[in-house]
């Protein structure tokens, strides 16, 4: 009988929640493969995370009885579904969507109060993430409210780990998707958007089921909304704290893309990802039994000095080849081109206002609680340039 593993750390501890980056940075240096009752085996070094990402045979993505399409699949099943969805994020599709994305960004940016304090998450990041995702999928403005409400409820249930409520919310999301599919199947419906196209998709010659479509859309929606909203909050807070960089980007908007990659390397929008060991394996000086649950810590890996020179310094000119912001291996984020465009466009519109993003004196950002990343609240103001 295997004896229980003594925890090396507590991810829910107050000091970890106050500054998760500093906590995992310290843990990475003295215990790079750390066990906890909450996250089981946490991998914090870049090399160890990269090894897992490139070895799906040993570290499986099938971590739940509820299969996520295609993120929760392994080859060869994953390969077939991945091949079907990748064209939805082609350069042509992303470029075609950019004007609509820019219009959404401009409308939200123009509505921000100038001079007065506002919460960047509630008034910009989340509305932008929800609206661009609905627009990309071909959902209407009427769907914004329902999806926003569901996103807030799902986020709260995830933080509280309320399993029963999460199961109910999964059913609710299925209902949201069912309404979308029924709208497009109605007699006389003439809809040719991303959602309608997905309904015609086949994998290995077999049409996608409604459950598979719902899983794909949930993956796109929950993942995209959460990561885009977190990214916007991180970027805006960071630029407000670094006025010279903000001024440089305003004067040279062509430098926004590498700045986005580097800022989000330093403080990532995604906290963790899961795998399961399919066999006994040694990694980072620890022995993991078959069936061990493994947690990959993206930001800790992206701040590893063994992978990045002066890892904690902002250096947008550095090569981003090792940056795990969008993952790596067979599960590298297929929506990365869309996300990059959305973040670039939002910053272009925000920086073109002619005002300066500034912190609110006496009001500090509120860190998001695991499993979320980034900020839960970011008080900012739009000030006149000095």
Residue of 92, 310, 86 lying closest to 201 (CA atoms): 86
Q: How confident is the model at residue 149 (pLDDT cuts 50, 70, 90)?
A: confident
Report the share of the chain in percent with pLDDT over 90: 75
Q: What is the pLDDT of residue 372?
A: 81
Q: For the chain, what's the residue count?
A: 386
Q: Mean pLDDT highest for which of 96-105, 153-162, 360-369?
A: 96-105
Residue spans of the domains in the chain: they are: 14-383
- Indicate the average pLDDT of the chain: 93
Q: Using the predicted structure, report yes or no on whether residue 230 has a pLDDT greater than 90.
A: yes
Torsional sign, CA 90, 93, 99, 102: negative
Q: Using the predicted structure, report yes or no on whether residue 221 has a pLDDT greater than 90.
A: no
Q: What is the pLDDT of residue 3?
A: 56
Q: Using the predicted structure, report yes or no on whether residue 318 has a pLDDT greater than 60.
A: yes
Q: What is the pLDDT of residues 350-379, one digit of tens each?
A: 999 988 999 999 999 999 887 788 999 999
Q: What is the pLDDT of residues 174-195, one digit of tens each?
A: 888 888 999 899 988 788 899 9
Q: Using the predicted structure, report yes or no on whether residue 277 has a pLDDT greater than 80.
A: yes
Question: What homologous superfamily does CATH list for 14-383?
Answer: Cytochrome P450 (1.10.630.10)
Residue of 300, 233, 222, 228 lying closest to 265 (CA atoms): 300
CA distance 345 to 245: 17
User: Between helices 243-251 and 210-241, what is the axis angle to 10°?
Assistant: 110
Report the share of the chain in percent with pLDDT over 70: 98
Q: What is the pLDDT of residue 386?
A: 67
Structural tokens at position 350:
């925000």
According to DSSP, the residues that pair with 41 across neighbouring strands are: 35, 294
Range 300-325 average pLDDT: 97
Structural tokens at position 52:
């897992």
- Which of these ranges, 74-78, 213-217, 333-337, has the smallest mean pLDDT? 213-217
Range 117-142 average pLDDT: 93
- Which of these ranges, 241-255, 319-333, 371-385, has the smallest mean pLDDT? 371-385
Q: Using the predicted structure, report yes or no on whether residue 2 has a pLDDT greater than 70.
A: no
Range 218-235 average pLDDT: 90
Q: What is the pLDDT of residues 49-70, one digit of tens each?
A: 999 999 999 999 999 888 889 9
Residue of 378, 356, 132, 107 lying closest to 247 (CA atoms): 356
CA distance 79 to 41: 27
Q: What is the pLDDT of residue 1?
A: 39
Q: What is the pLDDT of residue 165?
A: 84
DSSP secondary structure string for all residues of 281-339: EEETTEEE-TT-EEEEEHHHHHT-TTTSTTTTS--TTS--TT--TT--GGGS-TTHHHH
3-state SS assignment for residue 377: strand
Q: How confident is the model at residue 169 (pLDDT cuts 50, 70, 90)?
A: confident
CA distance 2 to 363: 49
Q: Using the predicted structure, report yes or no on whether residue 159 has a pLDDT greater than 90.
A: no
Q: Which residues contact 230 (CB under 8 A, 6 or more apart)?
A: 125, 269, 270, 368, 372, 373, 374, 375
3-state SS assignment for residue 31: coil
């Amino acid at each position: 009988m295997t004896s229980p593993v003594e925890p090396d750390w507590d991810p829910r501890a107050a000091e970890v929640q106050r500054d998760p980056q500093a906590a995992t940075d310290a843990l990475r240096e003295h215990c790079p493969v750390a066990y906890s009752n909450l996250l089981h085996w946490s991998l914090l070094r870049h090399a160890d995370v990269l090894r897992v990402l490139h070895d799906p045979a040993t570290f499986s993505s099938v971590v739940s009885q509820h299969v996520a399409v295609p993120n929760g699949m392994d080859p060869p099943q994953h390969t077939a579904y991945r091949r079907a969805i990748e064209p939805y994020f082609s350069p042509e599709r992303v470029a075609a969507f950019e004007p609509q994305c820019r219009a959404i960004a401009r409308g939200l940016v123009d509505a921000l109060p100038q001079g007065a304090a506002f919460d960047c998450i509630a008034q910009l990041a989340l509305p932008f993430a929800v609206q661009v995702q609905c627009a990309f999928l071909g959902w209407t403005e009427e769907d914004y409210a329902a999806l926003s409400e569901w996103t807030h409820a799902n986020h709260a249930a995830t933080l509280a780990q309320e399993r029963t409520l999460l199961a109910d919310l999964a059913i609710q999301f299925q209902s949201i998707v069912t309404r979308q599919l029924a709208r497009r199947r109605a007699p006389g419906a003439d809809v040719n958007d991303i959602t309608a196209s997905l309904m015609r998709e086949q994998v290995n010659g077999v049409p996608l089921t409604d459950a598979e479509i719902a899983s794909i859309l949930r993956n796109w929606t929950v993942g995209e909304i959460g990561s885009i909203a977190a990214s916007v909050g991180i970027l805006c807070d960071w630029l407000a704290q670094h006025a010279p960089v903000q001024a440089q980007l305003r004067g040279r908007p062509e430098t926004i893309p590498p700045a986005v990659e580097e800022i989000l390397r330093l403080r990532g929008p995604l906290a963790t990802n899961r795998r399961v060991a399919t066999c006994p394996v040694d990694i980072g000086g620890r022995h993991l039994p078959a069936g061990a649950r493994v947690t990959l810590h993206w930001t800790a890996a992206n701040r590893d000095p063994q992978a990045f020179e002066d890892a904690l310094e902002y250096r947008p000119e550095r090569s981003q080849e090792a940056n795990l912001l969008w993952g790596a291996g067979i599960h590298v984020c297929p929506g990365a081109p869309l996300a990059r465009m959305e973040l670039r466009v939002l910053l272009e519109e925000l920086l073109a206002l002619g005002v300066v993003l500034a912190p609110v004196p006496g009001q500090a950002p509120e860190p998001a609680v695991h499993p979320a990343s980034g900020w839960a609240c970011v008080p900012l103001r739009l000030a006149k340039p000095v």
